[in-house]
């Protein structure tokens, strides 16, 4: 973690609001994932934070990538564009998955030249891929329990287990190759049983497919959901890894390639925000601070990601329960209604840690306020 002294120095040097990306923290998170889940090929979910410098660092670490749009694909492609054509194509096939189950026809037509691996979860998508991206390899997205996840995904994505093999056989009949199965247990999943259920469902689909004559699947993508250490209620990653490793070894032979799509787990710990107090008021007996960052900017995850980022002060002293508001002229711009902060003055800095995922990525220019300036350290 970047020291408080350095955070304040950076804020004075670059101004606020400031979004600081620590590449040492990024590398440490990646290596932790690889250490505890050695069988799994790591595909960074670019949507968590698509900053090209983050993608570059993970590329240098040997990561693969999960993309969900052509702009995300091209951010990754920038790192391999100078490779010889054959080597570049092999890298794309082995290291990128386009994990958005529903894709515009224009996107499929653009993707087709790269012969990518793409996900699907319905009959309409099979027909679309057949017509517009016949060179693609397919992975079936399976609907699995998302119980207890901070962000539930199963209502929007995933084929039901009962129709899974029918879809695989339909894709095969259309002349497309289904390489394997994917699932997602929901973002920031602290209920480890979700993974157990999803892995068992996937193993059953593999078995049913074999029994019905389809033997070409050789990969399982276990998606994302790996929880970032936002607070002490999040169980250690090592505990989840042990559960996953046990089920993988029990259910899937070594020749099945295992993929995962961590986004939050890698990006969250790399980001720290620093903002400045721009106003102060007392409302109904409670002190309210107004800062120059908010939910339309770095704290956008409060709205879009259902996440809370505790606001901390550099200043020491007795604390009281306070509210923290963003700078816009919208009552929705509430960072927190319950923060324990010391007596702050205009110009004092505050900060939030573990704010690297689904934050700056969804920042806007609403009300004329630009997103925070991004500064990279320890590159």
Strands 137-142 and 177-183: parallel
Q: Are residues 62 and 184 in the same domain?
A: yes
279: three-class secondary structure by DSSP: strand
End-to-end CA gap in the chain: 14
Q: Would you tell me how many other CB atoms lie within 10 Å of the CB of residue 222?
A: 26
- Can you tell me the mean pLDDT for 147-160? 69
Please give the pLDDT value at position 239.
93
State yes or no: pLDDT of 378 exceeds 50: yes
Strands 271-283 and 349-352: antiparallel
| Residue 220 · residue 259 · CB < 8 Å | yes
The residues with which 259 forms a beta bridge, in sequence order, are 41, 221
Q: Are residues 68 and 176 in the same domain?
A: yes
Q: Are residues 49 and 145 in the same domain?
A: yes
Q: Tens of pLDDT along 232-286?
A: 888 899 999 999 999 999 999 999 999 999 999 999 999 999 999 999 999 999 9
**Domain end marker among 236, 266, 296:** 266
Q: Are residues 288 and 246 in the same domain?
A: no
Q: Are residues 150 and 71 in the same domain?
A: yes
Q: Are residues 186 and 274 in the same domain?
A: no
Please give the pLDDT value at position 191.
80
Q: Are residues 247 and 291 in the same domain?
A: no
What CATH number has the domain bearing residue 353? 2.40.37.10
Mean pLDDT estimate for the chain: 95
Q: Are residues 340 and 322 in the same domain?
A: yes
Please report how the helices 52-61 and 23-36 are oriented relative to each other, as an axis angle in degrees rounded to 10: 40
State yes or no: pLDDT of 173 exceeds 90: yes
Q: Tens of pLDDT along 87-128?
A: 999 999 999 999 999 999 999 999 999 999 999 999 999 999
pTM of the model: 0.94
What CATH number has the domain bearing residue 235? 3.20.20.10
Please give the pLDDT value at position 153.
58
The domain tally of the chain equals 2
CA distances from 109 to 70, 120, 131 (A): 11, 16, 9
Q: Are residues 177 and 201 in the same domain?
A: yes
State yes or no: pLDDT of 195 exceeds 80: yes
Active-site annotation, residues: 329
Q: Tens of pLDDT along 321-368?
A: 999 999 999 999 999 999 999 999 999 999 999 999 999 999 999 999
Q: Are residues 227 and 295 in the same domain?
A: no
Q: Are residues 165 and 296 in the same domain?
A: no
Number of residues that this document lists for the chain: 379
Q: Which range marks the domain in which residue 172 is found?
A: 23-266
**Tokens standing for residue 197:** 């259920």
State yes or no: pLDDT of 57 exceeds 50: yes
CA-nearest of 163, 145, 164 to 154 is 145
DSSP state of 244: H
Please give the pLDDT value at position 149.
47
| Residue 176 · residue 136 · CB < 8 Å | yes
H/E stretch holding 145 reads none
């Amino acid at each position: 973690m970047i020291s408080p002294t350095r955070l304040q120095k950076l804020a004075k040097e670059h101004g606020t609001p400031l979004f600081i990306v620590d590449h040492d923290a990024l590398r440490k998170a990646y290596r932790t994932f690889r250490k505890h889940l050695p069988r799994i090929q790591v595909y960074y979910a670019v949507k968590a934070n698509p900053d090209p410098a983050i993608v570059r660092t993970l590329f240098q670490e040997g990561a693969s990538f999960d993309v969900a749009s052509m702009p995300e694909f091209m951010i990754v492609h920038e790192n391999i564009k100078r490779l010889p054509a054959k080597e570049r194509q092999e890298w794309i096939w082995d290291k990128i998955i386009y994990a958005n189950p529903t894709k515009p026809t224009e996107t499929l037509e653009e993707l087709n030249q790269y012969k990518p691996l793409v996900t699907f979860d319905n009959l309409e998508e099979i027909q679309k891929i057949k017509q517009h991206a016949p060179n693609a390899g397919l992975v079936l997205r399976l609907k699995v329990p998302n119980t207890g996840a901070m962000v539930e995904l199963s209502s929007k994505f995933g084929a039901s287990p009962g129709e899974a093999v029918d879809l695989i056989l339909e894709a095969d009949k259309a002349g497309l190759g289904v390489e394997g199965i994917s699932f997602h247990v929901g973002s920031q999943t602290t209920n480890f049983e979700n993974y157990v259920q999803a892995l068992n469902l996937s193993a059953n689909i593999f078995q049913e497919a074999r029994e019905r004559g389809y033997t070409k699947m050789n990969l399982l993508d276990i998606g994302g959901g790996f929880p970032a250490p936002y607070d002490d209620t999040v169980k250690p990653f090592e505990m989840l890894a042990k559960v996953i490793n046990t089920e993988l070894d029990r259910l899937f032979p070594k020749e099945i390639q295992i993929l995962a799509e961590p986004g939050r787990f890698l990006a969250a710990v790399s980001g720290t925000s620093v903002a400045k107090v721009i106003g102060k008021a007392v409302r109904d007996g409670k002190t309210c601070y107004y800062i120059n960052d908010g939910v339309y900017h770095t704290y956008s995850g409060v709205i879009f990601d259902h996440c809370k980022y505790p606001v901390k002060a550099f200043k020491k002293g007795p604390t009281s329960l306070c509210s923290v508001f963003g700078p816009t002229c919208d009552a929705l711009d509430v960072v927190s209604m319950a923060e324990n902060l010391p007596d702050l003055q205009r110009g004092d800095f505050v900060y939030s840690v573990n704010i690297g995922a689904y934050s700056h990525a969804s920042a806007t220019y609403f009300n004329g306020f630009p997103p925070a300036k991004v500064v990279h350290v320890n590159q």
